[in-house]
Amino acid sequence: MKVKDYIISELERADGGFISGEQLAKKLNVTRQSVWKAIKSLQSDGYRIDCVTNRGYALGRECDKLSSAVLEERTGMYVEAYKEVTSTNTLAKELFLKRGDCAIAAESQSDGRTKDGQNFPSPKDKGVYVSCAFSLNASADCRRQVAEACESAVAGLIAKLSGGRTQRRGNRIFADGKQVCGILTEGIVNLDSDELTCIIVGTGVYTASVAEELGYVECAQRRNELIADICNALRSAISPFKKI
């Protein structure tokens, strides 16, 4: 991992608090000059980092960029983060075939879709869009059980986030009668063994107003933290099915 990846992970963990250049240099076993260069590089990448003499560096509260490094640290998974993709589920499925368990996170999707193939609006700065792909060794007959476990895990997380105001209807989550989250589960089945070898779970959560007919949940978390919570909840949900 690059020095600047470690630094952005440390700054996000500090949640707006300042960390001195000396602390960062010592923790990363690099020179303070290397830290300074990494900070400048991060600022060029669009990160809002405040620099104050005798205090150090802090990540601005308004800075909410997705970071593969932060997400990997918080989930222990291989994660790729993008500004925009066609579909996180499509990319996660492709990536799984190359790397195994993984996640794709994006600030927006141009071709997000629902369970029935309809468009799932996924505009930039209006929510989080993430797909996790996990290996399984479950009977294909368990596919509905696996999907149910994943949907319930996400629903529980969103309910906690909204203070219990949400209601789940199948793979959709509503608050005050308006959809705030959609979940799409897909899988890979070995036809010879009739075994479900992979589950791909796509989750879109609106955290700001998208359209009149759609709602949103107010979220004080940074997007990286919310995405990591979703990934970790899903990993716990599918763990029993790895042993079937």
What are the tens digits of pLDDT across the range 165-219? Answer: 899 999 999 999 999 999 999 999 998 889 999 999 999 999 999 999 999 998 8
pLDDT at 203: 98
pLDDT at 234: 97
pLDDT at 134: 96
Q: What is the pLDDT of residues 91-141, one digit of tens each?
A: 999 999 999 999 999 999 999 999 888 999 999 989 999 999 999 988 889
Q: Higher pLDDT residue, 88 or 17?
A: 88
Token output for 181:
């989250």
Residues 178, 76: Cα–Cα separation, whole Å? 33
Residues 234, 88: Cα–Cα separation, whole Å? 15
Is 70 exceeded by the pLDDT of residue 35? yes
3-state SS, 125-194, equals CCEEEEEEEEEEEEEHHHHHHHHHHHHHHHHHHHHHHCCCCEEEECCEEEECCEEEEEEEEEEEEECCCC
Residues 173, 215: Cα–Cα separation, whole Å? 10
Average pLDDT of every residue of the chain: 91
Q: What is the pLDDT of residues 178-189, one digit of tens each?
A: 999 999 999 999
User: What domains are defined for the chain?
Assistant: 3-59 (1.10.10.10), 68-243 (3.30.930.10)
